Amino acid sequence: MMKKAFVTKEQIEEITKKYPTPFHIYDEKGIIENARAVNKAFSWNPGFREYFAVKATPNPVIMDILMKEGCGFDCSSITELMLSKAVGAKGELIMFSSNDTPASEFVYADKIGGIINFDDITHIEFARQALGGRLPETISCRYNPGGVFQMSNGIMDNPGDSKYGMTKKQLIDSYKLLKSYGVKSFGIHAFLASNTVTNEYYPMLAGQLFELAREVQEETDCKIKFINLSGGVGIPYKPDQEPNDILKIGEGVREQFEKLLVPAGMGDVAIYTEMGRFMLGPYGGLVTKAIHEKHIYKEYIGVDACAVNLMRPAMYGSYHHITVLGKEDARCDHIYDVVGSLCENNDKFAIDRELPEIEMGDYLFIHDTGAHGFAMGYNYNGKLWSSELLLKEDGRVECIRRAQTPRDYFATLDNLEMFAKLDEILKENE
């Protein structure tokens, strides 16, 4: 099996006449088609909404595309809330799921009408005080079952080691407390496993949460308005992995819904999701150019991107497939480490990777960077963030975030004399 890039060498050669590498590029057509598939998969639930996890790809142009397809936004910070508001989202189109949250962020989330999702029972009183002794009418709480979350294909994740969410007792106590403070409707939220490449995860999680919802409603008399399955539906980073089938996943959740909620008189509960990786991951790529080769104890290809453009391989040892554009059909008979220029030995996009022979000037397409790619960028070694481009459905390319410049990098310095010196240096080099 092989992964196919959504751009060709010829397209990239044309794009780089205006936008130099490295850059992240996104596929508008793929994003739209995938969003529609998600909505179709859960169309059996009238209240369904996908709350795109803004943390995955915080670009307002991307967010606007998704909002036009009916998506809301899951936010984890005040700046993500502001981005959501800026693209026109308001009220229950915004979910605020954060942890260790500053009081000012609860205040802003409430101000724009977003749904607050409490991570801990202690946050209830904390937020109530921040909001002047009141709480919104709709509140969600995050559940953590503890222990190990296991599926038929083995251990998936370990919620017991996670800092997120509440125990069942805390959850039930939270709903009782919230009800005493005048909250009228309630949501349940949980995230138990990350990047699951199996159609089993969501239905299994749904079964647990639906049973929990029945228990909560019976014990507290709180009206459960929605159940949020959060994220965790993954993508096949490796070419030999079978991708998730979102239609089968949606059908599996429906079966659990009809088995557990409908008989309990809870057939009006809305199902929410908060996917980032599944919504955007495969529809973005990092394009970089080979600029150096090194032949020592191993064979190295140096590219003009580095870990500041894509942190996941350095941080997690994550696999991202690489296509050498124009050599898609060539034999992969060379073994390379593909590296960036950071002063860190883990700045490697690939280790001992079988690839076609790479010549200087070749363009490499690093797959599946549409989520948690650009968003995790940073400025170590004084490296600058790349641009973000959008490949439109009609084939045009739009710059949706320009590349960072040295002037941007220096702009937050508070020493006016030093900034003036740097400005002079910049002007000399322009």
Tens of pLDDT along the chain (430 residues) come to 679 999 999 999 999 999 999 999 999 999 999 999 999 999 999 999 999 999 999 999 999 999 999 999 999 999 999 999 999 999 999 999 989 999 999 999 999 999 999 999 999 999 999 999 999 999 999 998 876 766 665 556 667 677 888 999 999 999 999 999 999 999 999 988 888 999 999 999 999 999 999 999 999 999 999 999 999 999 999 999 999 999 999 999 999 999 999 999 999 999 999 999 999 999 999 999 999 999 999 999 999 999 999 999 999 999 999 999 999 999 999 999 999 999 999 999 999 999 999 999 999 999 999 999 999 999 999 999 999 999 999 999 999 999 999 999 998 888 878 878 888 888 888 7
SS3 379: coil
> 3.20.20.105, 3.30.1540.10, 3.20.20.10, 3.90.1410.10: which CATH number matches 28-281?
3.20.20.10
Tokens matching residue 38: 């998600």
Contact 165, 174 (CB under 8 A): no
> Tokens 């992964």 sit at which residue?
3
pTM of the full predicted structure? 0.94
Q: How many CB atoms lie within 10 A of CB 119?
A: 20
What whole-number distance in Å separates Cα of residue 289 and Cα of residue 124? 50
Beta bridge partners of 364: 288, 324
pLDDT on residue 15: 98
| CATH topology match: 28-281 vs 282-410 | no
**Helices and strands in the chain: count of H runs, count of E runs:** 13, 19
> 3.40.50.1820, 3.90.220.20, 2.40.37.10, 1.10.645.10: which CATH number matches 282-410?
2.40.37.10
397 Cβ partners below 8 Å, 6+ apart? 15, 19, 25, 389, 390, 391
Query: What are the extents of the domains in the chain?
Result: 28-281, 282-410
Closest CA to 266 of 228, 229, 211, 331: 211
380 Cβ partners below 8 Å, 6+ apart? 307, 308, 342, 344
What whole-number distance in Å separates Cα of residue 76 and Cα of residue 96? 6
| The amino acid at 75 | C
| Crossing angle between the packed helical segments 246-256 and 201-220, to the nearest 10 degrees | 30
Tokens matching residue 365: 């397409």
Backbone angles phi, psi at 322, to 5 degrees: -125, 130
Beta bridge partners of 141: 118, 188
SS (H, E, C) 156-211: EECHHHCCCCECHHHHHHHHHHHHHCCCCEEEEEECCCCCECCCCHHHHHHHHHHH
Is 399 exposed, middle or buried (CB count within 10 Å of its CB: 0-12, 13-18, 19+)? middle
Beta bridge partners of 72: 51
Residue 356 DSSP one-character state:
-
Dihedral in degrees, nearest 10, Cα atoms 53, 54, 59, 60 = 100
